Amino acid sequence: MTTDATASAPETRKFEAEVAQVLHLVTHSLYSHKEIFLRELISNASDACDKLRFEAIANPGLMAGEAELRIEVSADKAARTITIRDTGIGMSRDEVVANIGSIASSGTRRFLEALGSEQKADARLIGQFGVGFYSAFVVAERVTVLTRRAGDPAQAGVRWESDGRGEYTLEPATLDARGTTVILHLKESEDEFLDDWKLRGLVRKYSDHVAFPIRMPKAAADTQDEAAADAPEWESANDASALWTRPKGEIKDEEYQGFYSSLGHDFNPPAAWTHNRVEGSQSFTTLLYLPAQPPFDVLMGGRDERKGLKLYIKRVFIMDAAEELLPNYLRFVRGVVDADDLPLNVSREILQHNRQLERIKGACVKRVLDLIEKLSRDEPEKFAAFLKAFGNTLKEGIVEDAGNRERIARLLRFASTRGEGAAQTVSLDDYVGRMSAGQDAIWYITADGHAAAAGSPQLEAFRARGIEVLLMSDRIDEWMVGHLHEYAGKPLRHVAKGELPLDEAEKKRQEEAASAAAPLLERLKTLLEGKVEDVRVSARLTDSPACLALAEHEMAPHLAHLLREAGQAVPESRPILEVNPQHALLHRLAATTDDAQAADLATLLLEQARLTAGAPLADPAAFVQRINRLLAG
Ligand code: ADP
Ligand code: MG
């Protein structure tokens, strides 16, 4: 491998502005996780081998000259360099410019966007994105890349070099072998990485999961040969078997965890994993992980670009296929699917309509739901943390995956009037298990926040009768529960909707109360003309004067408000006002002969009912004046 002496002088170019920005951030914030450079460079080398293996399926000539795909890592103490070489796909000159002179990886771009104008990045964040190649500059004052694309002639090689400070040089090079060599000229302070044991340890740490052999020169002490440094004897630093292809019983937990961290995006150990081999008319292997921590938002947000689940076909990496292999509500899952029977030349378009893939997808969903279920049974603490991180994502499945609705519902946990405060610990099974004999529905309330749910006047009658109510206060709940009509054969009902089920005695009392209050109701209807659909005596209230009742398919007021705020057209509907004739305010209204005061009282009843339902007041100033008039009067 020599640089062609006759070649033209090096050309100096400036990095794209964003690269300079990333370089700055990375070198300044990865300081406590310096060693990551090795993970990133090995992973690029491994990607390059994957790409070549894939391209060589259609074009076997690309492997000419060197049949083995491998990675070599070595250190030179005298020169103070670390070299990472691969026999992968390599890069043409244009590719070098595009891939390492500008921000090629969209992950890095999103990372930048996520940081916005704040120039602060923490290492955890950077680790999640994998800033890749540029992490070399955390330890190197100068980086040299020699690369030649597979299939190109020796003279088509490229030499790239930079000190990571805004500019790089490019020049042609004659390279005997295809692939890429990255040479790190270490900073003064980074000598520790030249230490044989240190480097070996790191390579092992970051390479065990790599499916290509990674070789390092045999330690000097082991070799008798003086010239060992010039012609090193290489030995394997990893076993290069794709972890998922090994029998389950032989794989240690640490190996599973190590493989998880090699998938990227997460410094933390996974919460759980499931590894399965399906044999039969269609054979495939799945290794799927549940993360313990939520990833940084942008990674979850980009629906069009979900990463984390890799599709292999007979051990050849094909593509990130999270969208093809898992429904959206399971987008937190990471791992590998290796299919034996798909054609190697599949495209994304083909995958989207592939029947075999549909079956694999079904199996993945089943495995993941099994895994979450197992976690809920065996490791309640981990399960609680998992739900905290991904419970709301999982709830999307109630809407998205009708076929698994009941299974997903069983995994959800809610706050309840019998639970511990705001903690979401009650399952639907818990609820159904303690329903009283006569109770025929699962009752819930949705509100904007736990306090609003727990304090809602609509719960009063339920409390009085000892009926448990699920308190739902996540924004997605209203939408989710609208698709969950029943569980275990019991209908789910919103406490504010429709009629309460009353026994004969209660019905009788209710009718009597209504007829006794008839003149009061008439008065209220007149006073609130045009503002309410109806005024009724409530069976829901014991302590509060008024509340709103919703029609069966009416949206909860807090949600209607949210949607309007978000600019959506939500039809205005006039509410049904329910009142408690036993309440002192209603007594006062019935007794007053002052029409102005009666109007104030009636309006106030409606306003407070709206407030407790999470709907805003149309005119807060008028509301305050009304209150003051009544207090002063
Ligand atoms: P990412 O790996 O996430 O794409 P990197 O910064 O690690 O981002 O690398 C940027 C790009 O540079 C890669 O996508 C790839 O195209 C190219 N590249 C880096 N290292 C190699 C290599 N060893 N062989 C071939 N291409 C490489
Ligand atoms: Mg990379």
Domain of 480, CATH number, reads: 3.40.50.11260
* CA nearest to 18, candidates 166, 129, 150: 166
Q: Give residue ranges with CB within 6 A of ligand 1.
A: 40, 44-45, 47-48, 86, 88-91, 99-100, 104-105, 107, 130, 132-133, 180
Q: Encoding tokens for residue 244?
A: 């998922």
Q: Name the least confident of 202-211, 451-460, 466-475, 510-519.
A: 202-211
**Ligand 1 atom closest to Cα of 45?**
23
**Ligand 1 atom closest to Cα of 95?**
16
- Among 239, 262, 281, the domain-final residue is 239
Q: How confident is the model at residue 571 (pLDDT cuts 50, 70, 90)?
A: confident
- How much of the chain exceeds pLDDT 70, in percent? 89
Q: What pLDDT is recorded for position 303?
A: 44
Nearest Cα residue to atom 11 of ligand 1: 99
- Which three-class secondary structure state does DSSP give residue 45? helix
Domain match, 311 and 432 both = no
Give the list of residues 6+ apart from residue 194 with CB closer than 8 angstroms, or none: 75, 76, 77, 80, 82, 186
Nearest Cα residue to atom 23 of ligand 1: 45
Domain match, 217 and 158 both = yes
Nearest Cα residue to atom 18 of ligand 1: 44
* CA nearest to 150, candidates 56, 57, 215, 85: 56
Hey, which of 37, 112, 133 would you mutate to test ligand 1's pocket, going by the most ligand atoms within 8 Å of its Cβ? 133
- Looking at the structure of the chain, the number of domains it has is 4
CA of 162 to the centre of ligand 2 (A): 18
Q: What pLDDT is recorded for position 4?
A: 47
Q: Of 123-137, 174-188, 250-264, which one has max mean pLDDT?
A: 174-188
Model confidence pLDDT, tens digit, residues 377-403: 999 999 999 999 999 999 999 999 999
Q: What pLDDT is recorded for position 130?
A: 54
Q: Stretch 15-34: mean pLDDT, rounded?
A: 76
Domain match, 331 and 212 both = no
Q: What pLDDT is recorded for position 70?
A: 96
CA of 428 to the centre of ligand 2 (A): 44
Domain match, 298 and 192 both = no
Domain match, 588 and 461 both = no
Task: Report d(CA 443, CA 468) in Å as an integer.
Answer: 7
Q: For all residues of the chain together, what is the average pLDDT?
A: 87
CA of 599 to the centre of ligand 2 (A): 70
**Phi first, then psi: what are they for 294, rounded to 5°?**
-70, 140
Task: Compute and round to an integer the Cα radius of gyration of the chain.
Answer: 33
Q: What pLDDT is recorded for position 262?
A: 79
What type of residue sits at position 507? Answer: K
Q: How confident is the model at residue 181 (pLDDT cuts 50, 70, 90)?
A: very high
Task: Kindly state whether residue 383 falls inside one of the protein's structural domains.
Answer: no
Q: What pLDDT is recorded for position 107?
A: 56
Domain match, 317 and 268 both = yes
Nearest Cα residue to atom 16 of ligand 1: 99
Q: How confident is the model at residue 522 (pLDDT cuts 50, 70, 90)?
A: very high
Model confidence pLDDT, tens digit, residues 115-133: 654 545 555 555 555 567 8
More confident residue, 290 or 501: 290
**Ligand 1 atom closest to Cα of 134?**
6
Q: Would you say 365 and 327 are in contact if contact means Cβ atoms under 8 Å apart?
A: yes
Q: What pLDDT is recorded for position 186?
A: 97
Q: Does 38 have pLDDT greater than 80?
A: yes
Q: Of 55-69, 105-119, 140-154, which one has max mean pLDDT?
A: 140-154
Task: Kindly state whether residue 406 falls inside one of the protein's structural domains.
Answer: no
CATH code for the domain in which residue 318 is found: 3.30.230.80
Domain match, 235 and 248 both = no
Q: What pLDDT is recorded for position 168?
A: 94
CA of 25 to the centre of ligand 2 (A): 17
- Among 239, 269, 300, the domain-final residue is 239
The string of DSSP codes covering 488-552 is TTEEEEETTBSPPP--HHHHHHHHHHHHHTHHHHHHHHHHTTTT-SEEEE-SS-SSSSEEEEB-T
Q: Name the least confident of 202-206, 441-445, 591-595.
A: 202-206
DSSP lists the bridge partners of residue 180 as 86, 147
Q: What pLDDT is recorded for position 113?
A: 64
Task: Kindly state whether residue 391 falls inside one of the protein's structural domains.
Answer: no
Task: Report d(CA 341, CA 338) in Å as an integer.
Answer: 9
Q: How confident is the model at residue 526 (pLDDT cuts 50, 70, 90)?
A: very high
**Ligand 1 atom closest to Cα of 130?**
3
Task: Report d(CA 354, CA 360) in Å as an integer.
Answer: 10
Q: What pLDDT is recorded for position 122?
A: 55
Hey, which of 99, 111, 180 would you mutate to test ligand 1's pocket, going by the most ligand atoms within 8 Å of its Cβ? 99
Task: Kindly state whether residue 120 falls inside one of the protein's structural domains.
Answer: yes
**Ligand 1 atom closest to Cα of 107?**
3
- Give 221: exposed, middle or buried? Use CB within 10 Å, 0-12, 13-18, 19+: exposed
Domain match, 248 and 234 both = no
Q: Does 452 have pLDDT greater than 70?
A: yes
**Ligand 1 atom closest to Cα of 179?**
24
If phi > 0 it is left, if psi is from -120 to 50 it is alpha, else beta; for residue 148 that is beta
Task: Kindly state whether residue 269 falls inside one of the protein's structural domains.
Answer: yes
Ligand nearest to the CA of 48: 1
Domain match, 108 and 157 both = yes
> What is the number of other CB atoms lying within 10 angstroms of the CB of residue 536?
18
Q: What pLDDT is recorded for position 156?
A: 96
CA of 45 to the centre of ligand 2 (A): 8
Domain match, 44 and 183 both = yes
Q: How confident is the model at residue 2 (pLDDT cuts 50, 70, 90)?
A: very low
Range(s) of the domain holding residue 457: 414-494
Q: Does 87 have pLDDT greater than 50?
A: yes
> What is the number of other CB atoms lying within 10 angstroms of the CB of residue 85?
20
Q: Does 443 have pLDDT greater than 70?
A: yes
Q: What pLDDT is recorded for position 39?
A: 83
CA of 41 to the centre of ligand 2 (A): 7
Model confidence pLDDT, tens digit, residues 195-236: 999 999 888 877 777 889 999 998 765 555 555 556 778 988
Task: Report d(CA 615, CA 555) in Å as an integer.
Answer: 11
Task: Kindly state whether residue 389 falls inside one of the protein's structural domains.
Answer: no
**Ligand 1 atom closest to Cα of 43?**
2
Q: Which residues surround ligand 2, an ion (CB under 5 A)?
A: 44, 132
Give buried/exposed letters for 282-293 (b at 16+ CB in 10 A, else e). Answer: bebbbbbbbbbb
> What is the number of other CB atoms lying within 10 angstroms of the CB of residue 78?
7
CA of 22 to the centre of ligand 1 (A): 15
CA of 235 to the centre of ligand 1 (A): 25
Nearest Cα residue to atom 19 of ligand 1: 44
- Among 433, 463, 494, the domain-final residue is 494
Q: Stretch 571-596: mean pLDDT, rounded?
A: 93
**Phi first, then psi: what are they for 135, rounded to 5°?**
-65, -15
Q: Would you say 150 and 179 are in contact if contact means Cβ atoms under 8 Å apart?
A: yes
Nearest Cα residue to atom 8 of ligand 1: 132
Nearest Cα residue to atom 4 of ligand 1: 105
- Give 115: exposed, middle or buried? Use CB within 10 Å, 0-12, 13-18, 19+: middle
Q: How confident is the model at residue 306 (pLDDT cuts 50, 70, 90)?
A: low
CA of 70 to the centre of ligand 1 (A): 16
Q: Would you say 2 and 174 are in contact if contact means Cβ atoms under 8 Å apart?
A: yes
Find the angle CA(304)-CA(307)-CA(311) to the nearest 5 degrees. 115
Domain match, 219 and 147 both = yes
Task: Kindly state whether residue 400 falls inside one of the protein's structural domains.
Answer: no
Domain match, 530 and 543 both = yes
CA of 44 to the centre of ligand 1 (A): 5
Ligand nearest to the CA of 108: 1
Q: Stretch 8-25: mean pLDDT, rounded?
A: 81
CATH code for the domain in which residue 592 is found: 1.20.120.790
Hey, which of 22, 47, 95, 168 would you mutate to test ligand 1's pocket, going by the most ligand atoms within 8 Å of its Cβ? 47
Task: Kindly state whether residue 402 falls inside one of the protein's structural domains.
Answer: no
CA of 95 to the centre of ligand 1 (A): 10
Model confidence pLDDT, tens digit, residues 344-384: 777 778 787 888 889 999 999 999 999 999 999 999 999 99
CATH code for the domain in which residue 90 is found: 3.30.565.10
CA of 400 to the centre of ligand 1 (A): 36
**Ligand 1 atom closest to Cα of 182?**
23
Q: Encoding tokens for residue 393?
A: 């994502």
Give the list of residues 6+ apart from residue 229 with CB closer than 8 angstroms, or none: 76, 217, 220
- Which three-class secondary structure state does DSSP give residue 362? helix
Ligand nearest to the CA of 105: 1
